[in-house]
Amino acid sequence: MKLNSRYIGAAMIAPFILFIFLGGIWLKGFTIVLSIAGLYEFYKALKVKKFNPIPLIGYVLLGIFYILGNDFEYLMYVIVLATILLLIVPIINLKYTFIDASITLIGFLYVGILFSFIPLVNSKASGQFLVWLIFIGSWVCDTAAYYAGKYLGKRKLCPEVSPKKTIAGSIGGLLGSTIGCGVFGVIVSSYVPEVQVIHFFLIGALCGIMGQFGDLVASSVKRYVGIKDYSNLIPGHGGILDRFDSILFNSAVVFYYLTFIVGI
C-alpha cells in the first residue's frame, strides 16, 4: 500500500514537468499555486506548536510581490513596510505577539520568495534550459543520497535534525548533483552559449550542498513542531514543502550564480 501511494504521489508530481517545459506564464502561474499551498502548510505546521501566524498578511504580501512583477527593489520597500505594520499588530491585538509577526514574515520570505526564483531563472537568456538545473540538482541529489546512504551509510550526518541522513548519503548527493548538472551542461552546451560547461558542474556542486540544507531546514521545522509531514497532499510524499524543500534553496542558488557569477 505504501509503495502504491508513492506511485500515486509521483503521478501527481509528474505534471509539474510539463509546466517546466511550457515555461513562461504557465510556469509562473503554477509556481504561484505552489507558493500559496506551501505558505498554507508552513503556517498550519507552526500552529501545532501554538504559534499564531497571520496567514492573511502572508498571502497579501505574496499577491503584492507577484503583482509588482517580482521586482526586488519594490520588494524591499514592501518588506520594510510590512515589518513595521506586523510589529504594530501585537499592540493593537494582544492575541498576537512579536514572534507571531516574525514567523508571518519569514514564512513569506521562505516559501513565497524562494519559489519565485524558479520563473526568474526561466526568464533569463536560455532560461528554458537553465531552469532544469534547479530540479536536476535537487532530484539527482536526493536519489544519489538515498542509495549512497542505503548501501554505504553508517555514520549519521545530524541525527538531532534528521535521524536517517548519513555522511555517506550526503557525499553521494553532492557527487550526484555535481555530475548530473555537469552532464546536462555538456548535452545542452551548444544551446546555451552564455554559460561555459564548467559552470554547470559548479552549480551542481552548490545545489548538492544547499539543496541538502534546504531539506534539513524543512526537517528541523517539522521536528520542532512535532509533525512527520507538512500535509498529506501528495500520497507517499507528504506536502508541497516536503517535496520541494531542496528546490526552494536551489532555485535561489541557481538564480544568484547565473546573475552574479555568470552575469546573465
CA–CA separation, 162 and 145 (whole Å) = 13
Q: What are the extents of the domains in the chain?
A: 2-262
What pTM does this model have?
A: 0.90
Would you write out the chain's pLDDT as a tens digit for each of its 264 residues? 445 555 565 566 667 788 888 888 999 999 999 999 999 999 999 999 989 999 999 999 999 998 887 777 888 898 999 999 999 999 999 999 999 999 999 999 999 999 999 999 999 999 999 999 999 999 999 999 999 998 897 888 888 888 888 999 999 999 999 999 999 999 999 999 999 999 999 999 999 999 999 999 999 999 999 998 998 877 666 889 998 999 999 999 999 999 999 999
Q: Residue 222, Cβ neighbours under 10 Å: how many?
A: 21
Helix (H, G, I), strand (E, B) or coil at 194: coil
Q: Is residue 257 within 8 Å of residue 206, measured between CB atoms? A: yes
Please give the single-letter amino acid code of residue 175. L
Whole-number Å distance between alpha carbons of 169 and 136: 17
- Measured at the CA of 25, the angle between CA 19 and CA 28, to 5 degrees, comes to 70
Q: Alpha-carbon distance 147 to 72, whole Å?
A: 39
What length does the chain have?
Answer: 264
- Residue 155 and residue 243: Cα distance in Å, rounded? 25
Measured between alpha carbons, how far is 65 from 70 in angstroms, rounded to an integer?
6
